[in-house]
Amino acid sequence: MNKTVICPGSFDPVTLGHLDVITRASKMFGKVYVAVLVNSSKQPCFSIEERMELLNDAVRGLPNVEIVSFDGLLAPYCKELGVDAIVKGLRAVSDFEYEFQMAIANKKLNPDLETIFLTADSDSMYLSSSMVKEIGSMGGDISNFVPECVHDRIVERLKSR
């Protein structure tokens, strides 16, 4: 399919759940942007540049995936990039409520924009960046939660928090 989609998120840090959704989207669509967003309601552990670098390493084998970043509203940014749809991963019903509201708002801001929900893989339904940060900052093993290629960098940062 020759459609362009975007997978937005804070990715602070990237998890295996994020990578699963990105990989699945890359198999379904011609072009996938992964947009690292500035979220003013969260205090990031990693800078935008660091998150983009971690993501670039994690998606290295996916030639149709491009990592981008921006600060602002997603719907107009999608129009600027020529994006056909937003792809969001859902872990639980609580995710759906919030993401459904966002999908409606984005549709109002950009009527041509669709939102596609992908359910999380059963191995990562419970996984969040917040959980990874909490476990890692307390010295716990996060090797089952983050891509192997970025594991050591994430551990080093979380140890220094």
Which of the residues are catalytic? 18, 42, 91, 129
Q: With contact defined as beta carbons under 8 Å apart, do 17 and 131 qualify? A: no
Element (H, E) at 94: helix 93-109
Interatomic CA distance for residues 33 and 61, integer angstroms: 14
Residue 36, C-beta contacts closer than 8 angstroms, at least 6 positions apart: 9, 10, 11, 48, 51, 52, 55, 67, 68, 69
138 vs 9, 15, 42, 125, 150, CA distance in Å?
Answer: 24, 17, 20, 22, 18
Amino acid identity, position 73:
L
